[in-house]
Structure 1
Amino acid sequence: MMCAGLMAGLLAGCAPTPGVMSMQASTEQTQASLVKDGWTVLRLAVARSRMVRLYKVKMDVDVAQGPLHSQFSVYGMVHAPDMALLSFHSLNSNTRFYQQGKVAYVQEYKRWSQTSPMFNLDAFAPYQHIMTWAQARGVSVFQLPDTYVIDQYCHVYQATIPMAAERPLGLWNGAPIASGPSAAVLYTFYVGTKDGALHEVQTATVGAIAAVGAVEIDTDAMFFDFDNKDAEVKLPNDLFGQLVGMSHQG
């Protein structure tokens, strides 16, 4: 399913060394400090986010390989554990996806059709896996100055994690990118100062990507409106109308 492929690519970000070098230089200028219990803090933030019932998600990925340049994005609402209304945008293509339990529909060219439901709507599960992997191997976590995200200030943490930590997990991670043993991903995590939950994750690759070459991929995932009624998932009106019309025809 096109939606699955797009969603999978949004969290597995990578970028070449030059772009990452500038990010590292910026980190040094802001005097990032080593945090001994950083992974404990981050895993707790993910755990708090996974307790949320309703939330909005906005994801963007920017891909550049030589003269080729592509952008993908996803925006929508999730009602854990198995409801979602998402809009996918890729180049000149716009697709909508609605899921309620084990029933799902996709809209392309203004027409809804039944499709397979997403295997896993938990957007935070891949981060839990990556953090557990990194903590067990003693990967360092650095803290940067706080910054404002959506509606609150967030503590900012950064870590460079080998791509060996990446693996397909559900639908929100595991893009089919071949990586060399030295490849790594620079993660920047944003944890709310008010609620202690994970609200944003940015990624970029540090090092080479085997069999792909000079590819730049930057990703940005934002999670907000936690348990807010504005994030409630509702059956799209045009899908409802189409289903009613089909029932009358039957």
Structure 2
Amino acid sequence: MLFPDSITRFPRTDWKHVPFSCPPIPRGMLDAKARWAACTASKRWQAAFDDDNDGHLTTGTPGQLDAVDFAVAVFGVAYRMKDYMRVISRHRKSTIASGEGWRAITDLVIQTAYDIACTSVSNRFQNFTLPELDYVRKFARGAMDSVWDEGIDSLGTLQRTEYDEDLFTDRYMPDPVSIPLRAFTVVNHELDHDPEAEDKKRVLLVDACGDVVCGYRGKDLPDEYRKVVHPWDHTSPPGTPSQSTTSSPTSSTPSCDNQHPTDVSLH
């Protein structure tokens, strides 16, 4: 299968259709944590590409990139390739026949994403020690299994593997203290046909621990709590640059202009 350059770009920058969960994300929710971690790690790599130090990653700082950042960002690319496969399958009206068949194919996808990342990073940061593929798979395989959807990615069932949350994702989870209060409307069917329902409804502001901090009538709710907010706009995970997740590659990012579409042989 041929993958367009925009799909295989490392690091991934387009996350607009990814279903993120609002933090804090509970332990064991592997799919949500994998998505959040992959986006955060990818942003860190993008910041490094945008502001490298003459081809050398800055060491000894909180923003230092390591093997975990690499492995998690590789999954970000593989995850996008996986979703592209889903689109093509829907277009062709075909679905992979079994979970094990899907795993074999996505093993190749992970390897391809790894190769792309190795090329992009080694061309820019000669002092970065690239981890082995087996190390990357310790996260990427379990993370890929966590985002598998039965009947959509493949037919049949899948015996999912897991990954080490402590090692690969917990470092990317935002500090609960940094998470702003969120507004929840209390359901009141007595207001269903009331033209002033928006002003009368009860709205509770809840903190990251799920505790109610205060409440308002709709008309008194502060403006900052009225708009629908994407999870990424609620808080910036630790070490995340304040930039758009859909930013275009700059002149200092790996260029795809002269590359050919990536081909993954699917047997």
Question: Given the two structures, how large is their TM-score scaled by the length of structure 1?
Answer: 0.28
Question: Given the two structures, how large is their TM-score scaled by the length of structure 2?
Answer: 0.27
Higher relative strand content: 1
